[in-house]
Each structure stands twice: as structure tokens, then as C-alpha cells.
């Protein structure tokens, strides 16, 4: 693209949006060019911050006309490089942050894409309802990004992924037209269900500007347990038992390996050991209920007592107050952070059929240890969803860079086992850049061709977040993890 | 298409599948050419019944090469003309009826598209689990058709539509290639989620040959109540109260108007009045739970007693046994059948935001009565899903044909109100032929263009169930309701 044409585009956008909202200076651009963990660093012509759907549409239409790529960004908290621009403009949705409507009786709310997730949760609560989507970065992540990446998080077991919480969408298409699909309906078979094409497409098929979300009755009783277990296999048996006994009242089943809890207790601030002895594995379990008068604590006690009698559980504690529950949750939530204190970590975000979880953990740990004795596996996370963050902490004393240089080798080992067990190598964080080429290598070729056809049909000039998820051209990856 | 070319196609298919499974005689074709209510009558070259996914792929590839349309059919129980062929072949999935795998621990099962829905339910139960999808025609409907139409039915309130119960799909594409997307994962963000493009597309984008389904813990306690209410508005208030009090334990909330119950008691066999007095409206409510020891009867009693104290409920009864529960359900299930005894019925399958349900019922009934005094509205159905079968029974003594000739006029009235309240004119039965042109007139034009682009991308020669859902050509509708 000749410079004059991009200069003309910037002038056009500046005229419509105002100079404050079209910034080409390095200071304004800097926070929008890097992946949140620093894995990628991109570049862009300008940061454009529209204040309305109409301004987003104007911006995208102008870019389409000039054939300039558009990378949409919310809170830029993604972990796969999906929001990093490599040329073109960064389109920030952050000024589109209004609550458009809330309907407690209809159990729905309509929000703009740039609303911070925690603000969405708070608005639901103010209306006497619950919006359950939740993850660590909820104080900075934006709802539009969460939907565009079909985010998972801490409440998937009972409420589903972001996709399951969306009733309708408003989307700006690659040519700048606006699709208004903001329906608040539980049933709608009026033609193809278009919203699903955009949810989880990571900004490559359209730009989500607003969403109508499902709300749920507020939780009135909650109880959290921390359980010591002899093995991952016992965790699976415990999960099966709690699922049968509590059904959708089981709102969390998180897995923590012994080494994970050790790291938390060693490096975490304001933490103490939840149980007296040590166990091979731990599970954080939560029961909750919106029913007035529900007594989830007694229920959880009874379920865990039965599991202990059955020999599945070695020890368990139940938080007796909201503060104690929060302290137990903190042991799980600190895990990503405390790993940094032990050196380099090679990460995998994988999912398995629930029935293969224990097989996977046993086999993948053994294979990784065989490949590098001294390695310290820390597989943790959303066990009840079949989703494990299979992280590998470097051997003590090894050079960090030398360890991280082995990333691809461990990818091959871990993802190979995942593939063989019919799992997914991209469970909740998405594909972005980091898994794009691996997806292309490992996906069903017919499925991959379908993805390319969808991309070509909805974004024929490859202008929306080009090079992410599925690459259309033969370009090499624009950057490698650093 | 010249006759020689279609003769060659039939010969090719016969050679591969055997003469028993490629039938061009009128007797074999007859049941596959009509909509289940007789609204449409089509025509086809042949009925083709492949016995495996490979044979489906072969058939579709041969048709693609010969440019011969393919209309996929399961149990042919649809209500919108979606499965009726107008030329080309009818591809019956009914021989693909194997249970491929069941995994109770993983809470999933993989079935072929032609398995009868009731057999899928039974296979889940045999494995100690629940597959909740259920509707009147479950003894003849096939699971593939249920998924292809994103069927709703009687268990949507707690478990969702067919779409929500699908983890993975196997699909034969328009060119005969097979996409294997049979994953049994709760989380999978490895690229675009392709299964959603095929679910609810009514066989126009691909032919579903197998599916991996979600299973749930079996229900161990169930209680059914039949409630007399002063108005639709009271029904809405009762629904809100039960949703807050029972959450996902509320597994049904069905609406029956006074005239509906009258018809059931007048024409139904082996029925008796559930309550002593008469009420403006009725609700059938069901609480169920998979928790061992759950006492849904006491819960339901308490909830209904509170609602009565609050003045929402005029009278209520609770079935004390499985047989009594079934008798209460029968009052609801007979409704579609007994309407026939009162003459012609003009039907609408609409959905509304939950908070607009009472407004809609009041306004639509008044508008229809104003348009034709003596008309007898019978709006009933899945109130808790916002889905009303807004049916209109003819005035007493009016000529049936003359009444049915008013179909389009009442469509305009009812659907006009639905549109204004941001509802859907096609809630659970789909679009097929019967609503295709109305969808084209009323849908968001950008959304409609997206649908056409999807169709063109996945079926560029318009060979899969052509003319259904979205019409690509300017052909007039191939048939009108009779």
C-alpha cells in the first residue's frame, strides 16, 4: 500500500472520529502492539477508537475501501497473540462500553463490546441476576473479546463457555455493513444461526460491537471444598460421583497437582496450607444454588464424606465462610502467577474427553519426564470441563532460555498424546498466532478447508485480523514466540 | 438435466448400493414426497438409502458430478416442508442407525443420523444416563433430522435445544467429502466451530451422518403440577417465581389456555379434568432432579403454596405418582391432536423475549379476534422457552377451507406483532418452505445476505435441499401450502 493512500485513510478517519481517537504516535500505540505475556510484538499504522457502532462501521468501510487490515482489540488480555496487529490499524472497542439494556424478567442484558467483563457482572448483579462468565483478567478483559474468543474460565462447568451465554450479536462485517442480530430469544430457528460464525472467530470474520447475554438467578448458597486425593484417577472418580450427586449444583471442579500447591504455598502471599498432610493431587470443588434455603454446605459435606468412605478422598476441608471460601479459591487462582518464580514454563491449553483425563495426565507426565528428567509438570485447571493447562516448569538450575527453546519439542509430545486421545490442542485460549500453524498441520483437512471457505466468504480480501486462526496466504508467520 | 444423465446417475448409484436401496417406483417414493401434515407434495427421481457414511459420500459425490439435487430425509416428521424433495433424489438416512459409542463417564454418546430419537434416549438410559431431547414424534423422528432442524421440544427449558446437546458432528459436504468433527469435548477453540453451521441448516449446507451427543445424569425425582391461573400475565409471574426458586430444577413450564383444556377434555380419550373449577389459563410445571434423595414433590408443593398465597395461582394439583404425572402431561401432549376435531387451525410457531410473553398473548389474541369475531385462539406450548404455538381454531360453523384461506392474513397480523416485539417467526420448527419467503421479506437484509453467502460458500451449485430456508434463485416457491 502506498503511503499516500494510508495517509488519506488516516485523514478520513480523523475527520470523522476526531484526532483524539485516531492516534499514530508510538506512545498511544505501544500497549496495543504486544501480546499480554510479551510473546509477540506487532506494528500498526494507527490506533483507532470509535465511539459507536456507526463509527466502527465507518472505520471498517474506509479500511475496506483502502484495503487496509483491521485488527480489533478489547482489553488485549488474550494469550495466543490473536489481538496483535501486523500492519493496518488497531481498532479498539474500548469506547463502546455502554450497558444498552437489562431485562431481569427476560433474564437477558444487552451490552456493548467494550464493556469490561467485571462491569458486565456488576450490572447483572445490580439487576438481581447473575452473569456467570468469569476469569482472572475480568477486571481488564472486555466482553466483546471474551465472545470473539469464546472464552472459558471458572464457571463453564455449570454455565458453559462464552458461546453458551450469548443470545444475540451485533457485528460489523468486513465491508463495513452492520448485521443486527441482537435477539433476546431462547429459541430462534429463523434461518442459519449466524452468531455462531462470529463467536470464537477471534475477529477474523467480523467485529462484534454488541451482544445480548443470558442472565441466571443469583447464587444464594455457596460452599467450597478443598480435597486431597491419591491420584488424578481418583480425581476423575470423585468428579463422576459429585456430578451424579449434585448435577448442575456442582459449579466448579478444579485440579491442582501437589507441585502446584507447593509453589503456591512457597511463593504466594497470605496463603496457608488447606490440609495437614500432603497428597498427590488436589481438587477445589464448589457447590452453589440459587434456591432460597438451599444448604450447599451440608450437601457438600455429605458428598465428600461418602467419597472418603469409598476411599477416593484422603482428606478434605470445607470453607465455613465467604472469606474462607475465597481463601481456598485463591490457592487455585494464584497458580499461573507463582509458576514464574520457579523459572521458565512451557504451556499447553488442552482438552480431552472427560473419560480420558486420567489416562492423559498419567501418559503425558511420563512422556515429558522421560524427555527431560528433572522437569516439573504442573498440570492444573478446569478438570470438570476436561480442560487442563498442562504446564511444564523447568528443571531446577537449568538455563531458562535453554528450557524455553524446547517449547516445540514438548508441544509435539503433549499435543501428540492429545490428538491420539481425540482431544483439542486449543481448548479455551484460542488459536491466534501461537497455534495457527499447528492447527493447519493437525486439523482434519476437510475441516480446515471449510474454515478457509468461511473466511473467504465473509472476508474476501483478508482484511479482518489477517494471518490469525487460519492463514489464507503462504506468508510465513509474522512473528514467533520470543 | 437430460434423461440420459439422470439414468446414468441412477445406474451408478444402483451399482454401488444395490437395487434394493435405489428405488424409483412410486410405491417406494410415496411416503418420502409429502410433508407430514400433507401441506406439500413433491417429486423425485429416486429414493436412495445408503447404509454407511461412505455410501452417503459416494451418493452425494455422484449427484454433485451430475448436478442433481439431494434432499436428505430422516423420519420425515418436520412441519415446515423442509424435507420434501422437488426434483433430484431423496437421500434417506434411515439405514444409518447404529449406536457407535457410548461413554457414561465422559457423559457422551456417538450415534448415526438415522437412529430413531426414542432409541437414542433408550441407549442413553441403558448406560445409566439421560439424553433429554424429546418431542411428540420421537418414536419416528430421527436424531439427524432433529439436529439438522435444531429441534426444540419438551426439555429445552433445562437442557437446551438440539444445538446445545451436540458436541460433535460428522457431515457429508455438497461435493461428497466427509468432514469428521466427532469430538466429545466440552471445550474446543481449535478454529471456527464448524458444527454450528450445519445444525439448524435443514440439510441445505451439508448432510449430517453422525453426531456426538451430550449426556446428563438420570433424573431420580420428578414432580408434575397442573396450575389454574387468572391470566397469561399471572403465568409469567409464576414462571419468574419458579425459575428463581428452582433454577434448573424447573424442567418444564408449559402453557395451556382455557379453550385448549376444554378441547382436550371434550375430545381426548381417557382424560379427566385436573382441577375442579375453570381458569383463564393453565400451566403444567415440572420439577426434577438427578440428586439421590431429592424431594421434588415437597419443593413443588412449597413453591406453589407460596405462589397461591401471593395471589398468582388460583388452584393447583400435583401428581402423586408416575402414572398421575403422565396423566397430567397427557393433557398437554394431546393439544395438537384435539384441535383437529374443532375444524381448521391456522398455526404459528413463534418466540418472544420472555418478558414480552404476556404482552404478546394479550395483544395478538385481541388483534386476531378483532379481525375475525368468533375465532377461537389456542396459544399453547413452551412458555418457559418463550415459545408459543399461537394456533387459531376456526369459528364454529365456518367453512374450513374458507377459514384456512385466511392463513396469510393471520400470519401478517401475528408475525407483525412478533416482529415488533423482537421475537422470531420460526421458533422451533424451522423455515423449510413454509416460511422461506416470509423470512426473506422480514429478516435483517444484511443477515439474509450472510445466509446466502454461507449457502454459496458451502453449496456453490445449490444442490443440497435447494429452495429451502434461503432461496438463491428467483424461482417461485415450488409449491404452496394446500
Q: Are the C-beta atoms of residues A22 and A14 closer than 8 Å to each other?
A: yes
Which of B194, B248, B427 is closest, CB to CB, to A187? B427
Alpha carbon of B26: minimum distance to chain A alpha carbons (Å): 32
Reply yes or no on whether the pLDDT at B58 is more than 50.
Answer: yes
Whole-angstrom Cα distance, residue B238 to residue B233? 9
Which of B156, B190, B201 is closest, CB to CB, to A192? B201
If residue B225 lies in a helix (H) or strand (E), which one and from where to where? strand B221-229
Q: Do B103 and A386 touch (CB under 8 A)?
A: no
Reply yes or no on whether the pLDDT at B280 is more than 60.
Answer: yes
Contact status of A127 with chain B (Cβ, < 8 Å) = no
* CB contacts, 8 Å: A57 with chain B: none
Contact status of A429 with chain B (Cβ, < 8 Å) = yes
Q: Do B456 and A457 touch (CB under 8 A)?
A: yes
* CB contacts, 8 Å: A431 with chain B: 189-191
- In the prediction, which pLDDT does A248 show? 80
Q: Where does the pLDDT of residue B3 fall: very low under 50, low under 70, confident under 90, or very high at 90 and above?
A: low
Reply yes or no on whether the pLDDT at B1 is more than 60.
Answer: no
Which whole number is the average pLDDT over A202-227? Answer: 97
Per-residue pLDDT tens digits for B149-159 = 999 999 999 99
Whole-angstrom Cα distance, residue B456 to residue B289? 45
Per-residue pLDDT tens digits for B64-116 = 999 999 999 999 999 999 999 999 999 999 999 999 999 999 999 999 999 99
* CB contacts, 8 Å: B247 with chain A: 216-217, 248, 289-291
Reply yes or no on whether the pLDDT at B476 is more than 80.
Answer: no
Q: Where does the pLDDT of residue A480 fall: very low under 50, low under 70, confident under 90, or very high at 90 and above?
A: very low
Which of B164, B427, B456 is closest, CB to CB, to A189? B427
Per-residue pLDDT tens digits for B194-249 = 999 999 999 999 999 999 999 999 999 999 999 999 999 999 999 999 998 887 89
**pTM score of the predicted model:** 0.97
Contact status of A432 with chain B (Cβ, < 8 Å) = no
Per-residue pLDDT tens digits for A76-92 = 999 999 999 999 999 99
Contact status of B81 with chain A (Cβ, < 8 Å) = no
Residue A321 burial (C-beta neighbours within 10 Å; 0-12, 13-18, 19+): exposed
Alpha carbon of A435: minimum distance to chain B alpha carbons (Å): 8
Q: What residues 388-417 of chain A have any CB closer than 8 A to a CB of chain B?
A: none
Which whole number is the average pLDDT over B274-281? Answer: 96
- In the prediction, which pLDDT does B482 show? 40
Which whole number is the average pLDDT over B256-266? Answer: 97
The Cβ of residue A378 has, within 10 Å, a number of other Cβ atoms equal to 24
Contact status of B420 with chain A (Cβ, < 8 Å) = no
Reply yes or no on whether the pLDDT at B449 is more than 50.
Answer: yes
Mean pLDDT of all residues belonging to chain B: 95
* CB contacts, 8 Å: A457 with chain B: 453-454, 456-457
Question: Which is more confidently placed, B292 or A372?
Answer: A372
Per-residue pLDDT tens digits for A50-79 = 999 999 999 999 999 999 999 999 999 999
Three cell numbers written together for A89: 490499524
Per-residue pLDDT tens digits for B166-192 = 999 999 999 999 999 999 999 999 999
Cβ pairs A/B, distance under 8 A: 259
Q: What residues 337-356 of chain B have any CB closer than 8 A to a CB of chain A?
A: 351-356
Three cell numbers written together for A465: 485480523
Contact status of B236 with chain A (Cβ, < 8 Å) = yes
> What is the CB-side half-sphere exposure of residue B436 using CA atoms within 13 A?
27
Which of B192, B245, B386 is closest, CB to CB, to A185? B386
Which of B156, B178, B187 is closest, CB to CB, to A152? B187
Cβ burial A155-173 (10 Å sphere, 16+ → b, else e)? bbbbbbbbbebbbbbbbbb
Which whole number is the average pLDDT over B290-305? Answer: 93
Distances (CA, A) of B224 to A307, B135, B234, B335: 32, 17, 19, 18
Q: Where does the pLDDT of residue A295 fall: very low under 50, low under 70, confident under 90, or very high at 90 and above?
A: very high
Per-residue pLDDT tens digits for A390-406 = 999 999 999 999 999 99
Per-residue pLDDT tens digits for B14-46 = 999 999 999 999 999 999 999 888 889 999 999
Which whole number is the average pLDDT over A276-282? Answer: 96
Whole-angstrom Cα distance, residue B226 to residue A431? 50
∠ CA A316-A317-A319, nearest 5°, is: 150
Residue B355: name the closest of A190, A186, A289, A195 by CA.
Answer: A186
A187 alpha-carbon distance from chain centroid: 26
* CB contacts, 8 Å: A162 with chain B: none
Alpha carbon of B25: minimum distance to chain A alpha carbons (Å): 34
Q: Do B186 and A354 touch (CB under 8 A)?
A: yes
- In the prediction, which pLDDT does B471 show? 81
Residue of chain A minimizing CA distance to B435:
A190
- In the prediction, which pLDDT does B474 show? 54
Alpha carbon of A117: minimum distance to chain B alpha carbons (Å): 20
- In the prediction, which pLDDT does A477 show? 54
Residue of chain B minimizing CA distance to A245:
B291
Reply yes or no on whether the pLDDT at A419 is more than 70.
Answer: yes
Residue of chain A minimizing CA distance to B449:
A179
Alpha carbon of B74: minimum distance to chain A alpha carbons (Å): 19
Q: What is the value of ipTM here, to two decimals? A: 0.96
* CB contacts, 8 Å: A440 with chain B: none
- In the prediction, which pLDDT does B481 show? 47
Q: Do A191 and B443 touch (CB under 8 A)?
A: yes
Query: What structural domains and CATH numbers belong to chain A?
Result: 1-217+430-482 (3.30.465.10), 221-337 (3.30.70.2190), 343-420 (3.30.70.2740)
- In the prediction, which pLDDT does A292 show? 85
Q: Where does the pLDDT of residue A247 fall: very low under 50, low under 70, confident under 90, or very high at 90 and above?
A: confident
- In the prediction, which pLDDT does A232 show? 97
Amino acid at each position: 500500500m502506498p503511503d499516500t493512500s494510508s495517509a488519506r485513510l488516516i485523514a478520513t478517519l480523523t475527520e470523522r472520529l476526531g484526532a483524539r481517537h485516531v492516534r499514530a504516535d508510538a506512545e498511544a500505540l505501544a500497549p496495543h502492539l504486544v501480546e499480554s505475556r510479551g510473546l509477540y510484538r506487532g506494528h500498526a499504522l494507527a490506533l483507532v477508537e470509535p465511539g459507536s457502532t456507526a463509527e466502527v462501521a465507518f472505520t471498517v468501510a474506509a479500511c475496506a475501501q483502502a484495503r487496509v487490515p483491521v485488527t480489533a482489540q478489547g482489553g488485549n488480555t488474550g494469550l495466543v497473540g490473536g489481538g496483535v496487529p501486523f500492519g493496518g490499524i488497531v481498532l479498539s472497542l474500548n469506547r463502546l462500553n455502554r450497558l444498552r439494556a437489562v431485562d431481569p424478567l427476560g433474564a437477558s442484558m444487552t451490552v456493548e463490546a467494550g464493556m469490561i467483563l467485571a462491569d458486565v457482572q456488576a450490572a447483572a448483579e445490580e439487576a438481581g441476576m447473575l452473569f456467570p462468565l468469569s476469569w482472572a483478567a475480568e477486571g481488564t478483559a472486555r466482553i466483546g473479546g471474551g465472545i470473539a474468543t469464546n472464552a472459558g474460565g471458572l464457571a463453564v462447568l455449570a454455565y458453559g463457555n462464552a458461546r453458551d451465554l450469548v443470545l444475540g450479536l451485533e457485528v460489523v462485517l468486513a465491508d463495513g455493513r452492520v448485521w443486527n442480530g441482537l435477539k433476546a430469544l431462547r429459541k430462534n430457528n429463523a434461518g442459519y444461526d449466524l452468531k455462531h460464525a462470529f463467536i470464537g472467530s477471534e475477529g477474523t470474520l467480523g467485529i462484534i460491537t454488541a451482544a445480548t447475554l443470558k442472565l441466571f438467578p443469583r447464587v444464594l448458597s455457596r460452599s467450597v471444598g478443598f480435597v486431597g486425593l491419591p491420584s488424578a484417577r481418583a480425581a476423575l472418580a470423585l468428579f463422576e460421583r459429585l456430578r451424579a450427586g449434585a448435577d448442575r449444583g456442582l459449579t466448579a471442579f478444579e485440579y491442582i497437582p501437589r507441585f502446584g500447591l507447593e509453589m503456591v504455598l512457597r511463593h504466594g502471599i497470605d496463603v496457608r496450607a488447606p490440609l495437614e498432610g500432603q497428597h498427590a493431587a488436589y481438587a477445589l470443588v464448589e457447590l452453589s444454588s440459587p434456591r432460597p434455603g438451599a444448604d450447599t454446605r451440608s450437601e457438600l459435606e455429605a458428598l465428600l464424606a461418602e467419597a472418603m468412605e469409598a476411599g477416593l478422598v484422603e482428606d478434605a476441608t470445607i470453607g465455613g465462610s465467604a472469606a474462607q471460601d475465597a481463601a481456598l479459591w485463591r490457592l487455585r487462582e494464584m497458580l499461573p502467577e507463582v509458576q514464574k518464580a520457579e523459572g521458565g514454563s512451557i504451556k499447553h491449553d488442552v482438552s480431552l474427553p472427560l473419560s480420558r483425563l486420567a489416562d492423559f495426565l498419567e501418559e503425558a507426565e511420563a512422556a515429558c519426564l522421560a524427555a527431560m528428567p528433572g522437569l516439573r509438570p504442573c498440570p492444573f485447571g478446569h478438570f470438570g470441563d476436561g480442560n487442563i493447562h498442562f504446564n511444564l516448569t523447568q528443571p531446577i538450575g537449568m538455563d531458562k532460555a535453554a528450557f524455553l527453546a524446547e517449547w516445540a519439542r514438548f508441544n509435539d509430545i503433549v499435543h501428540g498424546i492429545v490428538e491420539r486421545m481425540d482431544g483439542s490442542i486449543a481448548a479455551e485460549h484460542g488459536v491466534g498466532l501461537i497455534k495457527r500453524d499447528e492447527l493447519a498441520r493437525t486439523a482434519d483437512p476437510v475441516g480446515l478447508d471449510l474454515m478457509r471457505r468461511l473466511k473467504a466468504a465473509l472476508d474476501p480480501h483478508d482484511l479482518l485480523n489477517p494471518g490469525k486462526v487460519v492463514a489464507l496466504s503462504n506468508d510465513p508467520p509474522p512473528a514467533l514466540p520470543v
